[in-house]
Each structure stands twice: as structure tokens, then as C-alpha cells.
Amino acid sequence: MKEVVRATNDLPQTDRGGPWALDAPSNRSSYLIDYPGSISETNVDQWITTTGVRYFDPLTNMAMLSEEVGEVARIMARRYGQQSEKESDKAKDLGEELADVLFVVLCLANQTGIDLQAAWEKAMEKKTVRDADRHRRNPKLG
């Protein structure tokens, strides 16, 4: 892939993303999924095993994911959108709600045998190739 990108003069080339991402020392692991001691499938599994007793079944977790995404949507619509924010919503922490979404996503990945790091890398490569110039040509983003 690097050779294809290098051979195409009008594609951006950087060591911070796309096919060069793993070459940059600062990108040796995903800050989102694989940072030691924080967000990881392993840490979620350890928490489930030691504190949470067991995983909820996947369909229950899917319902919980919908609930958590709904909580994020409520904050976004009221704090950043056109809906007025209720007094009871003002103390809600968007970061915590996003973390709740991520927690359930990690649970689902563990339950279904998905390696999120590998899936993340594959998705980012796909987006990099597909969208290399697409957004720059979008007049809506101009």
C-alpha cells in the first residue's frame, strides 16, 4: 500500500496516519484501545471477572449499548444542539457517558471474539484509502 500511495503525487503522505502510522514511534499502539492500564479489552475482561461476576448475554449488552448511546445523544442534543438543557441534565458528564459506550463495545468485542485492535487498524486503512481525497473535494466542507 505504501508503494501505491508514494507513486500517487496528489495523495497526502504523512507518518501520522494511513499506511505509515505504525512506522511512527508515537503510533506504536492505539491510544484508544491498547494503552497500558486504561482502555482495553483485557482490562474490561479483568473487571468483569473480578467485579462484574460475568458478562451479560450479547443481546442484553446490545440493548445496554443502545441505552448508553441514547444518553450521549441526550447530552449532545441539549448541550450542543437546539434543545434546552434541563436542570437535571446539567451535571451529566459527556466523557463518562462516552466511556460507558466504549465499555459496552469492549464487552461485545470480548463476547464475540473480535480483536478490536486489528479491526481498528483494518477500518482506518480502509477509510484512509477510500477517503484519501474525498473530503477535500466535498464543497460542503470547504
Instruction: Give the distance, in angstroms, between the CA of residue 113 and the centroid of all CA atoms in the same chain.
Output: 17
Q: How far does the chain reach from its first CA to its final CA, in angstroms? A: 28
pLDDT for the residue 47: 86
pLDDT for the residue 142: 78
What is the DSSP-derived secondary structure letter of residue 18? G
Span 62-84, mean pLDDT? 96
pLDDT for the residue 22: 47
d(CA 44, CA 100): 11
Per-domain boundaries in the chain: 2-141
For the segment 77-134, what is each residue's pLDDT rounded down to a tens digit?
999 999 999 999 899 999 999 999 999 999 999 999 999 999 999 999 999 999 888 8
DSSP one-letter string for 63-101? HHHHHHHHHHHHHIIIIISSSPPPGGGTT--HHHHHHHH
Write 126-130 long-range contacts (CB < 8 A, 24+): 128/17, 128/18, 128/19, 129/1, 129/18
Proportion of the chain above pLDDT 90, given as a percent: 55
d(CA 27, CA 112): 27
For the segment 1-42, what is each residue's pLDDT rounded down to a tens digit?
566 666 766 655 555 555 544 454 444 334 344 444 567 888
pLDDT for the residue 25: 45
Grid-cell match 497500558, residue found: 36
pLDDT for the residue 4: 63
CATH of domain 2-141: 1.10.287.1080
pTM score, whole prediction: 0.69
What is the DSSP-derived secondary structure letter of residue 131? T
Among 52, 50, 40, residue whose Cα is nearest residue 102: 40
pLDDT for the residue 9: 67
Instruction: Give the distance, in angstroms, between the CA of residue 57 and the centroid of all CA atoms in the same chain.
Output: 22
Higher pLDDT, 99 or 53: 99
Among 94, 100, 99, residue whose Cα is nearest residue 85: 94
